[in-house]
Amino acid sequence: MGALTPSQVTTIKSTVPVLAEHGNTITTKFYADMLIAHPELRNVFNNTHQATGHQARALAGALYAYAANIDDLGKLSPAVELICHKHTSLFIRPGQYDIVGHHLIETMKTVLGIAATPEILNAWGAAYWQLADIMIGKEEQMYKETSYWPDWKDFTIVKKESESEEITSFYLEPMDAELKLPTFKPGQYISVNVFVEELEGGVWQARQYSLSDAPGKKYLRISVKREPGIEVGEQKYISHPGYISNLLHEAKNEGDTVKVSHPFGDFFFEEKEEEKDTPVVLISAGVGLTALTSIFNTLIEKKSSRPITWIQGARNSNTRAFKRDFDRCAVSHENVHTVYFSSSPNEEEVQGQHYDIKGRVDLDRVNKEVLFADNEKTQYFLCGPTQFMLDIESKLKSYGISSGRVKMELFGTGGVPRV
């Protein structure tokens, strides 16, 4: 479908106030009606995000942003890139865009009633397919690049290793001995698909987990945080955001299989020849360290001489993963610096040994020499809770660091990159 007419653009922009008022009502009904008509899509959409309304709110926000920027879609390019990576990791296909488009317009018609004039519905139909065509084209190219991996692949858990009282690593190897593992970009993720019997009729559910080791191994490693207080099999916990991670911890063991997607993700580190001496600062909180561990391990294995600073926040030593590995690298590599924050250290922990600074991550308390803020080329990678990343980004900007040198892993549904 071609570009929107000037009249259609004007019509779409006129609906911005309507979306602000009714957007969540529209998207909530849209998902409910679509999943009744197409129950097979329950295997695609995150059950937790459906039950909590998170997915409906995210789509409402996306529709609002699309309408508000309909005459300058370049502002949405980072968001489109993020969504396309998510879609390809779930093997979304063009035919599913037909289903979504049909139900979205029908829901607008129902919710808005007489306010949904033919002019508005026609404009939104054209606008939907303008965006859908962009995304289908981008995803088609990504599928071509990964054509040897056209659908879910069965992987065996060959090793399951506890990294802390919350985080466990799963080492995954393909059951197909002929499948060549890709040289993914450090920072990217895979989707892991498991069958949840407790959901009505049994439903496949996929979740994205950052790869936590350098590429080039015979395995793919993910390191998954277990949310406490959740009992697998108990109906009341099925909609909890941590249910699938608990299922992996409790029900999946060495020798079991899971279905895995090709690695994707728009958050990654990429080595460039002209940046080989540029400092890299990796800042994480909690399980956000996983994607950054992949970047760290990649730099170490490449014997990079660039300055590397690892700043990580955790509650205490019991919840901090991989510290022994980072400390060992810091001892043997003079270009590596580590800074550990503990918000609630245990009584037996010793400052300077188990952690460096008491409290949450605060860059004002970090030696400025290892932040390399005075180097106009330093690259910063952030991963952790959304508000944590936004706060750290704001602090870096206050040091005069441009947003172009700060990359964040905004992961869940509705996570929108800086635009």
Give the catalytic positions in this structure: 97, 139
In which order are the strands placed within the sheet that holds 336-342? 357-358, 336-342, 308-314, 280-285, 379-383, 406-408
285: left (phi over 0), alpha (psi -120 to 50) or beta: beta
- The H or E element spanning position 110 is helix 94-112
The rounded distance, in Å, linking the Cα atoms of 292 and 392 is: 15
Per the CB < 8 A criterion, the answer to whether 172 and 258 are in contact is yes
The residues, any chain, with a CB within 8 Å of residue 260's CB and separated by 6 or more, are 152, 153, 154, 155, 172, 174, 190, 191, 192, 193, 220
Handedness of CA 295, 299, 305, 311 (dihedral sign): positive
Which two tokens mark 96?
């599913």
Measuring CA to CA, which residue among 43, 23, 41, 22 is closest to residue 32?
41
To the nearest 10 degrees (0 to 180), the angle between helices 6-14 and 118-145 is 100
Per-residue DSSP letter, 351: B
